[in-house]
Amino acid sequence: DEQNYKESQRFAEHMKGVSEATSEFAKKRTMKQQRQYLPVFAVRQDLLQVIRENQVIIVVGETGSGKTTQLTQYLHEEGYTKYGMVGCTQPRRVAAMSVAKRVSDEMNVELGKEVGYSIRFEDCTSADTVIKYMTDGILLRESLREPDLDHYSAIIMDEAHERSLNTDVLFGLLRDVVGRRQDLKLIVTSATMDASKFSNFFGEVPTFNIPGRTFPVDLLFAKNSVEDYVDAAVKQTIQIHLTGNPGDILIFMPGQEDIEITCEVLAERLAEVDEAPELLVLPIYSQLPSDLQAKIFQKSPEGIRKCVVATNIAETSLTVDGIMYVVDSGYCKLKVYNPRIGMDALQIYPISQANSNQRSGRAGRTGPGTCYRLYTERQYKNELLTTTVPEIQRTNLANVVLLLKSLGVDDLLQFHFMDPPPQDNILNSMFQLWVLGALDNTGQLTDLGRQMVEFPLDPPLSKMLIVSAGLGCSADVLIIVSMLSVPSIFFRPKGREEDSDNIREKFQVPESDHLTLLHVYNQWRVNKYSSSWCTDHFIHAKAMRRVREVHAQLKEIMEQQKIPIVSCGTEWDIIRKCICSAYFHQAARLKGLGEYVNCRTGMPCHLHPTSALFGMGYTPDYVVYHELVMTAKEYMQNVTAVDGQWLAELGPMFYSVKESGAGRVQKRRQAQEHMSQMEEEMKLAQESIRMSHEE
């Protein structure tokens, strides 16, 4: 009976929260009332006072307390925007866009005017913009042009607890900028209480806490470890849904594929239940078109429960109101440098305890909630790391190295990192840049390297663009690079797989996925960039429009850089050679029937069934690839057939040709000498890292 009593107590408490949260009053609150209801509003004056009195402060507050949407507006209202923009950085593009939209609504202005956002390849700001949301990568690139960030009167580094690679580099740069510019305000925000590290980093600056308003969350662990988290999440969600208790549901999944499957299976299973109440299932992940992303914030129709299926974007970056149940798969996707394949790979990893706690907290914003953890308590305690390893310590740093070098930071080991990257990371990245010709033997930026920095692209792609000019195929390579900057353009609707595959085959150029992409774009252009043409050919019209925007922006940079833009017409071998010049370090050789192995590591790698080279009865001896995707097997993605000769010519440090002439032997010897010189330099660098660590 006592158990019963407790249960009913809990239920009563629960219902009180529910009715508060969903009362008609709450629904009808005006935008202004909503703003005033946020926890940060209660401390607005104190906060502004601390900002007035200090140049740098750390602001800590629960997710949803109003840091991201309100701080910029407060600074604007206080007049800070009279002397420059208020900039707010986000680790995620989705967050930058979505929050800018929200703030422009709150201020009742058109998005892109007073309030705007800027993300890679998409600048939605104007001369009127005073509040600018952007990815941290954008501000980093802006600092190349404007080391003192003169256009800004204040910078808010949001979501600092995420410790994204670019945020970490910004930390080091901004620490110097605030030293040089006493008039610049810097606010670092974090959702977690562990702010002392940030405060330390800037020289014991004050930390301001926004008092939270949270409700208790019941934590329910799995009894046994879960085999299939998608299946477990679906079962748990349906069980919650069928109890009939009110409150929306938030499911955390590692990535897009799992989210899509979860949404499908949820719909299927619910359809099997007799007279199941309706459930509004809404996915959210970074590649989702923005109109669909916006849906998660909309109120569901009266009496219909909402179920948001999200990546860890909903952990702290975006807050959906009304969530009372969280179902946590316990996994997320992380980019981690994989030494076996010599590059970064996006893979699924268990979350950290910090992630886990943030996720469960999402259930207690509007009332008491429940979090179902699809892992055992033992796993939580023994197997999850306390916090996630910062990105700077686990990924390839080639872009960062390039950027810092061009900012004049010659000695990366002297750069002030909050947590220095492991020496191997720096050395690997420097090696990659040296291989591409962006660094010389002494680790200095070459002319090529200096030009590569100008492009917001990964080093191989920027190299491909620059090399293409000399080969006379820059107009064509520009299209290829633009196409590669957008996620897959082909779609394969359910029930019409065969139709779409047939059409796709018609576009395929047998020796190259890159040329296939070029072909698609050229056909689209011939068809006057028509949307209906896309739809007829199972191509995402939206993605193609995006390609066109990327194309326009890269073209502008090429023009600024005075790189001639010329087409080679149908001389496609030249383009393949150009592709080879950027990807020779990612080459595979035919071994047996349709089987490939990596030229450098001997590791098997496979053609993806969607590749133009797959099953065409034509299997070239050598191929290069854009990236490796690791699912059931290691698949090469975006593959182009190349000549063995080209590999030896363009990548002499890796490859030789047996029947080569004396000249080539000599060239190779020279390259190897350079390589050992480079290694020597790196050892010295290593030595000095070790010493600086010991200091």
Give contact residues for ligand ADP (rule: CB under 6 A): 38, 61, 63-70, 98-99, 101-102, 297, 319, 321
Least distance to Mg ion, CB of residue 401, Å:
30
Name the binder of 101 from Mg ion, ligand ADP, none, CB < 5-8 A by kind: ligand ADP
Q: Which is nearer to ligand ADP, 159 or 681 (CB)?
A: 159
Give the sign of the dihedral formed by CA 645, CA 647, CA 651, CA 655.
negative
Give the sign of the dihedral formed by CA 399, CA 401, CA 402, CA 403.
positive
Name the binder of 38 from ligand ADP, Mg ion, none, CB < 5-8 A by kind: ligand ADP
Q: Which is nearer to ligand ADP, 70 or 428 (CB)?
A: 70
Least distance to ligand ADP, CB of residue 199, Å:
19
Least distance to Mg ion, CB of residue 68, Å:
3
Name the binder of 69 from ligand ADP, Mg ion, none, CB < 5-8 A by kind: ligand ADP
Distance CA 421, CA 193 (A): 24
Name the binder of 319 from ligand ADP, Mg ion, none, CB < 5-8 A by kind: ligand ADP
Q: Which is nearer to Mg ion, 317 or 640 (CB)?
A: 317
Least distance to Mg ion, CB of residue 90, Å:
8
Nearest residue to 458 (alpha-carbon basis) of 477, 433, 478, 434: 433
Least distance to ligand ADP, CB of residue 485, Å:
26
Name the binder of 321 from ligand ADP, Mg ion, none, CB < 5-8 A by kind: ligand ADP
DSSP 249-312: EEEE-SSHHHHHHHHHHHHHHHHHSTTPPPEEEEEE-TTS-HHHHHGGGSPPPTT-EEEEEE-T
Least distance to ligand ADP, CB of residue 26, Å:
11
Distance CA 425, CA 292 (A): 38
Contact 642, 624 (CB under 8 A): yes
Q: Which is nearer to ligand ADP, 248 or 511 (CB)?
A: 248
Least distance to ligand ADP, CB of residue 41, Å:
10
Least distance to Mg ion, CB of residue 191, Å:
7
Q: Which is nearer to Mg ion, 64 or 368 (CB)?
A: 64
Q: How far is CA 90 from the centre of its chain?
A: 11
Q: Which is nearer to ligand ADP, 317 or 399 (CB)?
A: 317
Q: Which is nearer to Mg ion, 101 or 241 (CB)?
A: 101
Name the binder of 366 from Mg ion, ligand ADP, none, CB < 5-8 A by kind: none
Least distance to ligand ADP, CB of residue 119, Å:
15
32, two tokens: 């202004």
Distance CA 656, CA 654 (A): 7
Least distance to ligand ADP, CB of residue 149, Å:
22
Q: Which is nearer to ligand ADP, 51 or 461 (CB)?
A: 51
Q: What is the β-pairing status of strands 248-252 and 305-310?
A: parallel
Distance CA 518, CA 577 (A): 15
Distance CA 117, CA 126 (A): 10
Distances (CA, A) of 453 to 141, 146, 478: 9, 15, 16
Least distance to ligand ADP, CB of residue 301, Å:
17
Q: What is the β-pairing status of strands 122-124 and 115-119?
A: antiparallel
Angle at CA 190, nearest 5°, toward 186 and 192?
155
Q: Which is nearer to Mg ion, 67 or 101 (CB)?
A: 67
Q: Which is nearer to Mg ion, 65 or 429 (CB)?
A: 65
Name the binder of 311 from Mg ion, ligand ADP, none, CB < 5-8 A by kind: none
639 Cβ neighbours under 8 A, 6+ residues apart: 512, 513, 607, 608, 611, 612, 613, 623, 624, 625, 626
Q: Which is nearer to ligand ADP, 173 or 313 (CB)?
A: 313
Least distance to ligand ADP, CB of residue 389, Å:
23
DSSP 63-89: TTSSHHHHHHHHHHHTTGGGSSEEEEE
Contact 483, 521 (CB under 8 A): yes
Residue in the block written with tokens 């820059």: 474
* Interactions with Mg ion, residue window 59-118 (CB under 5 A): 67-68
- Would you tell me how many other CB atoms lie within 10 Å of the CB of residue 639? 29
Three-state DSSP class for residue 407? coil
Distance CA 65, CA 45 (A): 15
Contact 580, 642 (CB under 8 A): yes
Residue in the block written with tokens 């008039």: 183
Total residues at interface with Mg ion (CB under 5 A):
2
Nearest residue to 635 (alpha-carbon basis) of 615, 607, 610, 613: 607
Q: Which is nearer to ligand ADP, 98 or 129 (CB)?
A: 98
Q: Which is nearer to Mg ion, 68 or 393 (CB)?
A: 68
Q: What is the β-pairing status of strands 604-607 and 634-642?
A: parallel
Least distance to ligand ADP, CB of residue 592, Å:
53
Q: Which is nearer to ligand ADP, 19 or 298 (CB)?
A: 298
Residue in the block written with tokens 């390839």: 396
Least distance to ligand ADP, CB of residue 567, Å:
43
Contact 366, 321 (CB under 8 A): yes
Q: Helix, strand, coil shares of the chain as percentages rounded to 5?
A: 50, 20, 35
What secondary structure letter does DSSP report for 186? E
Least distance to ligand ADP, CB of residue 325, Å:
17
113, two tokens: 């005017």
Beta bridge partners of 57: 187
Q: Which is nearer to ligand ADP, 61 or 87 (CB)?
A: 61
What is the H or E stretch that residue 196 is in?
Answer: helix 196-201
Kindly list the residues in this chain that would bind Mg ion in the complex (CB under 5 A): 67-68
